[in-house]
Amino acid sequence: MDLISAIFRPEVMVFLVPITAIAGHYFYRAQKLKAGDQLSGEERKMLSHVMNENENLKNRVENLESIITGLDKELLQIKVSEDAKEVEDKVRKLADALKQG
């Protein structure tokens, strides 16, 4: 049996996938730390500023989303109440017509 077919056997893959994920996570963290050590003071300050601005923008978008979804609900309620008034008027006219007829 060659190496490729041995690696892709189900009993090997069950263990290989989590091990690869764990190794990838630690590699990513090591690269991130290495990159962080190479930043100058000005670059760190700029990165911090950009991260704060990103967080502020994220909060603003979430607020806008909540406003828009709230407006949608209010508009739907207005439409429903307008429709209800229209139906109520039609029923009242029909009732009046039946009483007179």
- Domain identity same for 95 and 53: yes
- Domain identity same for 44 and 93: yes
Report how many domains make up the chain. Answer: 2
9-18 pLDDT, tens digit each: 888 788 888 8
- Domain identity same for 61 and 96: yes
Residue 24 to residue 47: CA distance in whole angstroms: 25
**34-68: string of b/e by CB count within 10 Å (b at 16+)?**
eeeeeeeeeeeeeeeeeeeeeeeeeeeeeeeeeee
Confidence of residue 54 (pLDDT cuts 50, 70, 90): very high
Domain ranges, residue 94: 39-100
pLDDT for 31 equals 85
- Domain identity same for 49 and 20: no
- Domain identity same for 57 and 90: yes
Q: Please state the pTM of the whole predicted model.
A: 0.39
- Domain identity same for 19 and 43: no
- Asked if residue 16 lies in contact with residue 7, where contact means CB atoms within 8 angstroms, the answer is yes
